[in-house]
Structures are given as structure tokens and as C-alpha cells.
Amino acid sequence: MKKSKLRLLASALVSLLLFASVLLGVAASAYVAPASALGMSGKLTEVGNIDLDEIRKQYLSDEVKEAERFSYEGDRWVIVELEGESLYDLYKKSQGYADFSAYCASEEAQAAKAALEQKHAAFRDELNAAGISYTYKYSYTTLTNGLALRVSAADGKALSLREGVSGVYFSERYAVPKVAVTNNANVYTTGIYNATGISYKGEGMVVAILDTGLDYTHEAFATMPTSPAWDKAEVARRMAAASLFYASAGVDDVYYNSKVPFAYDYADEDADVFPQYSSHGTHVAGIVAGKSGYVVNKDTGETFLGVAPEAQL
């Protein structure tokens, strides 16, 4: 059934339900208003019971829902939510822990996490045996019980119908704009870059930015901080201590310089953070911690200066 017909059918159902709700009110049966009140002649007519559940089954069928969900082309990343409790669900039932972080660090939570990951591995074995093709990326145990997989539309539908699966959620897909968009707004004259009179410069601080990438060669990041919080050894220590950091890169890859001690592309899983299509991340990083001699306001001679120019990124 084509999507246009499905939408038309859904619209008809909505109209029917709205009509039924007005006609019937709260009860499942009603009477037409007296003819005298309507300025018409005639007798009272009883409207029989309407089974709304049956209407839903007839018009809002699984066929409509499945056609909308599994109609994409190629492969897409999905989160497959499995039945069973996550660590957070277990934490809410636990006792003796100050907060969720304390629970996650406990032996009880680590044992529960290992058990969930074993179930995820068993689930993947079942998919292999069933001939469902997929690419595995992550296991989620903390806030939800599920896996991140890349599947085709057909295999995505097969996943949703498997026993033990409570939901399949698709990632959004966006096309790269074909037309370059320009912004003629002069934000520099608003004074947002003017940090004159502000004593705090971000000394000894590291700011994390999750965005579209960073042009680390830009002149705004060429001035090194005078009091850096992280050096290369500190970055290596933190990477080694981060049990949830699944990077296929070493400290030599992610450490650019004293200004940018750590940069990683979590989407492509590599240390190349140079932006491919958008300078938004570089712009944000410049507002946060950039500094250069570039004049941004010819009227005042104001040069480019971020809010915390001494901070690291």
C-alpha cells in the first residue's frame, strides 16, 4: 500500500473518531437531540454502540505502522531495546548507596553489568543463527538495556518481531545541504566577544565541546595557555583510567598541542576532528577559548577574544 493511501486512510480514521467523540460524548451510545430543538420534524433516533477498539484494528493496522517504520533504503543505525532491567532500574531497587554513581562503582553493579553484556552476546548469537545481518557497535547497560546495531530495513523489521525485543529505535538521517547558506548578521558589534574588565580568563580549566569538529590550524587556537591543566602525560593517564573510552587511538593521536590536549571524532571513531562540511564546532570553540589579533570590530579596534582565552579545549 502506498504511503499517500496510508496517510489518507489515517486521516479518514481521525475524522471518524472526532465525529464519534462529538456525537457520543463520554458514553458509547447516545440519542439525537429533539427535533424541536433542531427546528426539524422527526422522531428520536437511538445510535447503537460503537466499538472503537474494532475501528482501531480495522484502520490503524500493523501494516500502516510497519510501512512507515521499515521503508528506508540501505542500512541504518538502530538501538534495539531488550526486555529486562538496566543498571538504573536495579539501582532504584537497591539500598545502601549514596547515589547512582556510587552504585555503578560497586561490585553489585559490575556483576549486573557483566550479566547484561552476556545476554547481549547471546542475543547476537541468536541473530547470527537466524541469518539476520548486522554491524555491532555498542551495548547499553546503564540507562537502558539494549544494543546499537546497523541493519537493513528488512532485518530491522525482523528484529522488531523477535521475542525479547521491546523496541527498535532508528537514528535520524540528514542530507548535507546542497546550497551554501550565508549569515550576514554582524554578531561582533553586539559586544559578545568583548571580555574587557573580566578578570577570569579560564586559567587551569579544560572545556569539553561536542560539535561538528575543530579546525585546530585556525589562528584563534595558535596562542598556547600560560597555565595549562592537562599536559600529554595527564591525557595519557586519563585515557588509561577511562574504562568506558573505546577509542582506537593513542595519546599521540588525540593530543594536538597545549591548547587542544584532546580531540576525538566519536562519530567516525578516529582522531581526525578536522571538519568536513560545517565550521560550527570551530566557531563555538573560538567563542569559548579563542584568541587572535584579528580585528572583529573596526569601529572600536576590538580583536578576536573568546570568553575564556586561557582555557584548553
Taking only the tens place, the pLDDT of each residue in 272-288 is 999 887 889 998 998 89
Between residues 121 and 54, which one has the greater pLDDT? 121
The reported pLDDT for the residue numbered 116 is 95
Q: Which of 32-41, 46-55, 109-118 has the lowest mean pLDDT?
A: 32-41
**Rounded to an integer, what distance in angstroms lies between the CA atom of residue 165 and that of residue 145?**
10
What pLDDT score does 266 carry? 85
The DSSP output letter for 54 is H
Single-letter amino acid code for the residue at 67 = A
pLDDT at position 245 over 50? yes
Write down the residue that cell numbers 564546532 correspond to: 281
Going from the N-terminus, what domains does the chain have, and what CATH number goes with each?
Answer: 3-68 (no CATH), 72-170 (3.30.70), 187-305 (no CATH)
Contact 89, 173 (CB under 8 A): no
Asked if 287 contacts 279 with a C-beta cutoff of 8 angstroms, the reply is: no
Please say if the pLDDT value at position 22 is more than 60: no
Check residue 38 and give its pLDDT.
Answer: 39
Instruction: With a cut of 80, say whether residue 13 has pLDDT above it.
Output: no
Phi, psi of 45 (to 5 degrees): -120, 125
How far apart are alpha carbons 103 and 30 in whole angstroms?
57
- Tens-digit pLDDT profile for residues 43-86: 555 555 656 566 555 554 455 445 455 666 778 888 999 999 99
Can you count the helices (H) and strands (E) in the chain?
11, 8
Question: Contact 267/171 with Cβ under 8 angstroms?
Answer: no
Whether pLDDT at 289 is above 80: yes
DSSP for 219-251, written as a single string: GGG-SPPSS-S--HHHHHHHHHH-TT---S--H
Say how far apart CA 145 and CA 120 lie, in whole Å: 9
200 vs 202: CA distance, rounded Å: 6
| 187 pLDDT tier (thresholds 50, 70, 90) | low
For residue 17, pLDDT over 80 is answered with: no
Paired residues of 291 in beta bridges: 305
10-24, 43-57, 98-112, 183-197 — which is least confidently predicted?
A: 10-24
**What residues contact 36, with CB distance under 8 A and at least 6 apart?**
none
Among 26, 297, 37, smallest CA distance to 187 is for 297
Mean pLDDT value of segment 250-255: 92
Which pLDDT value is given to residue 46?
52
Q: Name the burial class of residue 41, with classes exposed (0-12), middle (13-18) and buried (19+) by CB atoms within 10 angstroms of its CB.
A: exposed
Residue 155 CB contacts under 8 Å (≥ 6 apart), including other chains: 132, 133, 134
Percentage of the chain beyond pLDDT 90 is 41
Gap between the Cα atoms of 80 and 77, Å rounded? 10
Q: What is the pLDDT of residue 35?
A: 42
In this predicted structure, the answer to whether residue 40 has a pLDDT above a threshold of 70 is no
Mean pLDDT, the chain, rounded, equals: 78
pLDDT in the model for residue 257: 95
pLDDT beyond 90 at 204: yes
Compute the distance between CA of residue 185 and CA of residue 181 in angstroms, rounded to an integer.
12
Bigger pLDDT: 114 vs 20: 114
